[in-house]
A and B are shown apart, each in its own frame.
Chain A
Amino acid sequence: MDFEWTEKDRAFRARVRDFLDRELPENWDEIRRHGPGSREQTEFSLKFCPKLAAAGLLVPHWPAEWGGGGLSNWEHFILGEEMWAAGEPRGAQYMNVNWIGPTLMRFGSDEQRRRYVSQMAAGKAIWCQGFSEPNAGSDLAALRTRATPDGDDYVVNGSKIWTSYAGLAEHCFLLARTSGKAGDKSGITIFLVPMDTPGIDVRSIPSLIGHGDIHETFFTDVRIPASARLGAEGEAWSIINYSLANERVGIPRYELSARVLEGMVNELIVRGAFSDTDVLARAGAAAAACEAARLLVYRVVDQLANGKDPGTDANIARVAVAKADHAVSDFGLDFLPDTYSGGDHHAHLAHHERAIVAGIAAGAAEIQLGIIARRHLMLPREAC
C-alpha cells in the first residue's frame, strides 16, 4: 500500500490546475453560483470544454481513436476532483466524459458512435439523463415510460422527472419500457433521443440547488427511429451497470468540501474566531470526514485502475462522501451563519446547495446502506 501520489499523478494535477487558473474567467464565481445545470454554466461549458479538449484535458482517459490520451483511472479521477472543486466548469458535459461517451463507444452502432462520440470529445455536446420518473426514483426498475414499436419506429409516451440539464440538452439518454410491467428490469431499453423531436416538452422545476437544474420532461407520441435504440431491446439494465461502473463512487464532492472548509476556517481566522476548542474540534471533525471519504473513494479508484470490481466498497465510499459534505456544510451554518444570507460568499452558498443533494443524487444514501447491509455484511433481505 502507498498513500503517496506518483510523480505522474502530481504532474497531471498541476497541469489541470494550471489550465483552470488560466482559463476560468474573473467572473467565474458568479457564473458557477447558478449551478452546473444552469443556462449560464451550460453556455459557459460550450466555450470551455472545446478549450479543454484542445489541451488534451477533456477526455484524457479515453482511447486515442476517440480523441483521448489513453490515460488511467487515476488521471480521470484527478480531473474529476479538480473540475468539481472548481465548480464544475464542464457543466453537464462531465456526464459525457465519465460514462455516456464510453458507453456509446462500447455498445453504440457505428452510426451512433460516429454521430455522437466525436462531438462529445470536442466538448460540444449537452446530454441529459432520462432515468427517474414520478413513480421510479430509487426504485428505477419501476419506470413506466413506454416505447412501443411501430413499423421502423418506436413511439414513446410517458414522463421523466428531476432530470438534470434537460432544459438545454440536445440529446437524452433515455430509459423506456419496451416490454413487461413496472419492476421488470428485462423490459427496459435505452434510446438516444434528440430533444428537439416533436412531442417532447420540458418544464423547469424551481429547486434548492441552483437555477435550471431540475426538470420534468414529458413524452407524448414521440416518434423515434429504431436506429436511435442503443443495444438490443431489454438490454438497458446490463448496459447501465457497465456504464455506471466508473461512476460508482459518484462525484468527488469531498474535494470541494475540503477546499470550502479551508475557506471557512480562513474566514474565522480573519475574524479572530478560530481558537475555541469547540470550533477547532468541529473543523477537525469536518476535515477528518473529508479525509475518510477521500480514502474510501481512492480505494475504489485503485480497484478500477487494476481492473477489479470494487463491489460494495463503492457503496461504502458513497455514504462517506455524503457525510463529509454535510459535516462541512453544517460547520459553516453553525459558525459562519451570516455568510448564508446576502453578501458575496458564493463558495459557501454553492457548496451548501451541492451538499443537500449529496445523499440523494445518483442513488439515495439509504439505498447504499441497504446494499452494504445485504451484500457486504451479508444480512438477510428485509421482509416486505
Chain B
Amino acid sequence: MRFEFNEDQAALASALDQIMLSAEAGWKTAENWQRFDWSQDLDRTLEENGYYDCASEETLGPLAAAAMVYRLNSLPVAVESAASALLRPFCAPDLPRPIAVIDGEADSAIRFLPVARSLIHIGKQDVRCALLPAGAVVPSESLFAYPMGVLGDVPLEWSSVDVDAEATRNRWRVAVAAEIAGSLKGGLEAVLAHVRDRHQFGRPLGSFQAIQHRLAEAAVTIEASYLLVLKAAQTGDPVDAATALGYVQEATTTVVYDFHQFMGAMGLTLEHPLHRWTYRAKLLRSSLGGAQLNQALIAKRRWGSR
C-alpha cells in the first residue's frame, strides 16, 4: 500500500500543473454567453504532448490517467479527457479524438459530440466505434456545461472493437467518477476563494461555522472520491469501479447544493464559472444509470441479489 506517486507519475502531474496554469486553461466568459467553454487550444496541447496516451505507459498506467482526468476537470474550461485517456488506450488507440461516448441507447443529447471526431458506443454485449463525418452531429441547446449534441441522419460506419463490453463500461465508470470528483474539486476551490474574500455582517463568509463545516464535509467527500477513483483505476476491479462512481454520484447532490448556497447570487450568473463545475456534476450524476443504480451495483457485485 503506497499513497505517493512514483517518479514518472509525479513528473506527469507537475508538467500538467504547468499546462493548467496557461491562459487557454483559465476562466473566461464564453462567446454568446454559452454555458461551456470548449478549449481547443488546451486540448491540442495535451494531445500533441501525448498526455492522453499515458495509461499505456507502464510506469504511468490507468491510475495516472485517472488522476489527470480528475485534475483537468477541475478547470473551468472543458476538454475531453475521460474517454481519450481511460477508454481509447484500451479500445482503439488510433481512434481520432476528441471522442464522445454513448453508453447504452443514444436517447438523449451526448456531451462532447459537437467537437468530437469519433464515437465509442458501449452496448450491452459489444463495443463499437465510428468516425464522425461532417454533418453527422446536430448541436443541442443544453443546461449543462458541455458542448452537447445528437446524431443526425448521416449514417455512420461502425466497426466493432474486440474488447469486453462490461469491462469497458467499468472503465467508463471510473472515468466518469474521475470527471465528477474533479468537477467538484474545481467548484470547491472557486467557492473557497469566494468565502475567503466576500464579507457580510462585517466578516468573511468563510468565518461562519455553518459554512466552514459544510465545506469541510465537501472536502472530505472529494478527497475520498479521488482516492476511490485512483484505486478503481489501478485495480480494474468491478466492485471498485461501482464504488467510485456510486459514491461520488450520491455525494454530488449535497455538495452542489452547498456550493451554490455559499456563492449566492453570484453563482447564478454566467459571469462566474461556478456553473461550469456544478452543471457538469449534475449531468454526470445521472450517467451510467445514475447514483442509485451504481450504489446498488456495488452491492450486487459484492453479494449478488437474492
Given contacts A292-B224, A316-B223, contact A277 B293 (CB under 8 A): yes
Is there contact, CB below 8 Å, between B305 and A376? no
Is there contact, CB below 8 Å, between B227 and A380? no
Chain B residue numbers with a CB within 8 Å of A334 are: none
Is there contact, CB below 8 Å, between B224 and A372? no
Given contacts A382-B207, A382-B208, contact A302 B2 (CB under 8 A): yes
Is there contact, CB below 8 Å, between A6 and B1? yes
Chain B residue numbers with a CB within 8 Å of A272 are: 306
- The answer, yes or no, to whether B125 is at the interface (CB within 8 Å) is no
B6, B219, B220, B223 — most chain A CB neighbours (10 Å): B220
Is there contact, CB below 8 Å, between B299 and A369? no
Is there contact, CB below 8 Å, between A274 and B3? no
Is there contact, CB below 8 Å, between A376 and B219? yes
Is there contact, CB below 8 Å, between A296 and B247? no
- The answer, yes or no, to whether B234 is at the interface (CB within 8 Å) is yes
Chain A residue numbers with a CB within 8 Å of B206 are: 373, 377, 379-380
Within 8 A of B (CB), among A341-384: 366, 368-370, 372-374, 376-383
Given the complex of chains A and B, what is the CA–CA distance between A366 and B306 in angstroms? 39
Given the complex of chains A and B, what is the CA–CA distance between A374 and B206 in angstroms? 9
Is there contact, CB below 8 Å, between A288 and B227? no
Q: Can you list, as one digit per residue, whether each of A223-241 has a CB less than 8 Å from chain B (1) or not (0)?
A: 0000000000000000000
Is there contact, CB below 8 Å, between B1 and A269? no
Q: Can you list, as one digit per residue, whether each of A267-297 has a CB less than 8 Å from chain B (1) or not (0)?
A: 0010010110111111111011101110110
Least Cβ–Cβ distance between B54 and chain A, in angstroms: 14
Of A275, A299, A316, A378, the residue contacting B3 (CB under 8 A) is: A299
Is there contact, CB below 8 Å, between A376 and B242? no
Chain B residue numbers with a CB within 8 Å of A295 are: 224, 227-228, 231
Given the complex of chains A and B, what is the CA–CA distance between A266 and B303 in angstroms? 8
Chain B residue numbers with a CB within 8 Å of A373 are: 206, 212-213, 215-216
- The answer, yes or no, to whether B296 is at the interface (CB within 8 Å) is yes
Of A283, A306, A366, A380, the residue contacting B196 (CB under 8 A) is: A380
Of A274, A287, A376, the residue contacting B306 (CB under 8 A) is: A274
Is there contact, CB below 8 Å, between A269 and B303? yes
Is there contact, CB below 8 Å, between B220 and A1? no
Is there contact, CB below 8 Å, between A319 and B1? no
- The answer, yes or no, to whether B302 is at the interface (CB within 8 Å) is yes
Question: Size range of the interface on A?
Answer: 35 or more
Is there contact, CB below 8 Å, between B227 and A296? yes
Q: Can you list, as one digit per residue, whether each of B218-262 has a CB less than 8 Å from chain A (1) or not (0)?
A: 011001110110110011000000110011001000000000000
Given contacts A5-B1, A274-B306, A284-B242, contact A319 B220 (CB under 8 A): yes
- The answer, yes or no, to whether A303 is at the interface (CB within 8 Å) is yes
Is there contact, CB below 8 Å, between B219 and A370? no
Is there contact, CB below 8 Å, between B227 and A377? no
Chain B residue numbers with a CB within 8 Å of A296 are: 220, 223-224, 227
- The answer, yes or no, to whether B49 is at the interface (CB within 8 Å) is no
Is there contact, CB below 8 Å, between A287 and B3? no
Chain B contact residues: helix, strand, loop or mixed: helix
Within 8 A of A (CB), among B283-306: 292-300, 302-306
Q: Can you list, as one digit per residue, whether each of A316-339 has a CB less than 8 Å from chain B (1) or not (0)?
A: 100110010000000000000000
Given the complex of chains A and B, what is the CA–CA distance between A266 and B2 in angstroms? 32
A9, A287, A288, A379 — most chain B CB neighbours (10 Å): A288
Given contacts A4-B1, A319-B216, contact A291 B243 (CB under 8 A): yes
Given contacts A1-B5, A292-B224, A372-B220, contact A287 B207 (CB under 8 A): no
- The answer, yes or no, to whether A74 is at the interface (CB within 8 Å) is yes
A266, A269, A373 — most chain B CB neighbours (10 Å): A373
- The answer, yes or no, to whether B63 is at the interface (CB within 8 Å) is yes
Q: Can you list, as one digit per residue, whether each of A58-75 has a CB less than 8 Å from chain B (1) or not (0)?
A: 000000000000000010
Least Cβ–Cβ distance between A375 and chain B, in angstroms: 10
Least Cβ–Cβ distance between B233 and chain A, in angstroms: 9
- The answer, yes or no, to whether A298 is at the interface (CB within 8 Å) is yes
Given the complex of chains A and B, what is the CA–CA distance between A220 and B224 in angstroms? 48
Given the complex of chains A and B, what is the CA–CA distance between A187 and B19 in angstroms? 51
Given contacts A369-B212, A369-B216, A370-B209, contact A265 B228 (CB under 8 A): no
Least Cβ–Cβ distance between A269 and chain B, in angstroms: 5
Chain A residue numbers with a CB within 8 Å of B216 are: 319, 368-370, 372-373, 376-377
Least Cβ–Cβ distance between A185 and chain B, in angstroms: 22
Is there contact, CB below 8 Å, between B207 and A379? yes
Within 8 A of A (CB), among B170-191: none
Given the complex of chains A and B, what is the CA–CA distance between A319 and B220 in angstroms? 7
- The answer, yes or no, to whether B81 is at the interface (CB within 8 Å) is no
Is there contact, CB below 8 Å, between A302 and B234? no
- The answer, yes or no, to whether B104 is at the interface (CB within 8 Å) is no
Given the complex of chains A and B, what is the CA–CA distance between A139 and B140 in angstroms? 56
Of B215, B234, B293, B306, the residue contacting A1 (CB under 8 A) is: B234
| Residue in chain A with minimal CB distance to B305 | A275
Given the complex of chains A and B, what is the CA–CA distance between A139 and B132 in angstroms? 63
| Residue in chain B with minimal CB distance to A287 | B298
Least Cβ–Cβ distance between B13 and chain A, in angstroms: 11
Of A74, A281, A372, the residue contacting B295 (CB under 8 A) is: A281
B1, B234, B297, B302 — most chain A CB neighbours (10 Å): B1
29 A-B Cβ contacts within 8 A?
A1-B234, A2-B1, A4-B1, A4-B234, A277-B292, A279-B299, A283-B299, A284-B295, A284-B302, A287-B298, A287-B299, A291-B247, A296-B220, A296-B227, A302-B1, A316-B223, A319-B217, A368-B216, A369-B217, A370-B216, A372-B220, A373-B216, A377-B192, A378-B196, A379-B207, A379-B215, A380-B203, A382-B207, A382-B212
Interface positions of A (Cβ within 8 A of B): 1-6, 9, 74, 265-266, 269, 272, 274-275, 277-285, 287-289, 291-293, 295-296, 298-299, 301-303, 306, 313, 316, 319-320, 323, 366, 368-370, 372-374, 376-383
Given contacts A295-B228, A320-B224, A381-B207, 18 further A-B contacts (CB under 8 A): A1-B230, A269-B306, A274-B303, A275-B306, A277-B293, A277-B296, A280-B299, A280-B300, A280-B305, A281-B293, A284-B295, A285-B247, A288-B246, A295-B227, A301-B1, A369-B216, A379-B204, A379-B207
Q: Which 7 A-B pairs have the closest CB atoms?
A: A284-B298, A373-B212, A292-B224, A280-B296, A284-B295, A372-B216, A379-B206
